[in-house]
Amino acid sequence: MRERRKTILITLACLALAWGLFAWIIAPDFVRGLRPSIRFHQYASLGALALLGAALVYVLRFQDDAADQLSRVTIGHYFERDGVCFWPLVRVQHAKGGERAEISLYYQGRYSGMAEVVFHLRPVEGAFFSHRGGRDIHFAFHCEGGGYGVVHQPIAVPVEYQGRTVDVQLAAAVRYPRARGTQVRSKCGAPVGTFDVDWALAYRQSRHELCGEIELVQPATVRLTLPDGVQSDILRGEFVQETLAAAG
């Protein structure tokens, strides 16, 4: 989209330049009776050239290649770790056996390179869980360059926590296996902490990762309101990743 705008602006700027050359160099000596006046064409061409030049500078230097899709869901506020922005929401889905709660992690990359992301969420103990016997929510996924998507993680909410608002710590780890690439979106998110990751095993979930044993370094804290009337137990809830929009 930005390339198309750039092409259009360059074409219009060339036409405005040609108009200015005609008005300032050719018309005064070779054209008679130009309406409404030669002076009008001279200053109008200058104004058009200045306006188009300013628009071209804006497109080239300040306009993002990718729209800020994440702001539409989070009302402009979200977290970031190393160029990947995200925000967790709690939603309710219809499932076999009744209503089921899920953590929906919306995310969007700020760079053109594909990122590997490991996300870790630690609720107040006993508030909710994705695997029976576990405490934390932990999963890994790929974020395509500048891509926008969501990860749906089913959870169970014990009856005593349903309808309550709880504090949840979250942290993330990000790496770019090839290269970060160029920036496609300029708006940054609030910084969030991280944790150590063995990237060779990042996509294998273990009991260690689900039982609160991972040390979170400067995690952010969010408050999530848990729904009423949802399933209070789950054996093993596997997350589903959904790509909502590609970069651009």
For 13-25, the DSSP string reads HHHHHHHHHIIII
pLDDT digits (tens, 9 = 90+) for 105-162: 999 999 999 999 999 999 999 999 999 888 999 999 999 998 999 999 999 999 999 9
| The pLDDT of residue 187 | 87
For 168-212, the DSSP string reads EEEEEEEE-SS----BS--PPPEE--B----GGGTTS--HHHHTT
Distance spanning both ends of the chain, measured CA to CA: 7
| The pLDDT of residue 208 | 67
Q: How far is CA 177 from CA 66, 144, 174, 210, in A?
A: 21, 12, 10, 25
Nearest to 119 by CA among 171, 154, 169, 167: 171
| The pLDDT of residue 210 | 80
10-residue averages of pLDDT along the chain (248 residues): 71 89 88 87 90 74 75 90 96 89 96 95 94 91 93 96 96 95 89 92 75 91 96 90 78
